[in-house]
């Protein structure tokens, strides 16, 4: 996403996106761990 678009992004929406990203990363890590 371009810098311009990010500046138009509401703060809470940005936070939500960050949270989702973190949750997905954690989820993926857990999946990998379980596979071992």
Q: Does the structure show a pLDDT above 70 at 1?
A: no
3-class SS at 17? Answer: helix
Number of alpha carbons in the 13 Å side-chain half-sphere of residue 10: 3
For 16-36, the pLDDT digits (tens) are 999 999 999 999 999 888 876
Rounded to two decimals, the pTM is 0.51
Whether residue 6 is contained in a domain is answered as no
Alpha-carbon span 21 to 28, nearest angstrom:
11
Domain that holds residue 25: 11-35
Q: Does the structure show a pLDDT above 60 at 10?
A: yes
The residue ranking higher by pLDDT, 14 or 29, is 29
Alpha-carbon span 24 to 28, nearest angstrom:
6
pLDDT of residue 32: 87
Domain count, the chain: 1
């Amino acid at each position: 996403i371009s810098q311009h678009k990010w500046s138009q992004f509401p703060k809470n929406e940005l936070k939500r996106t960050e949270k989702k990203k973190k949750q997905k990363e954690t989820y993926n890590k857990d999946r990998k761990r379980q596979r071992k």
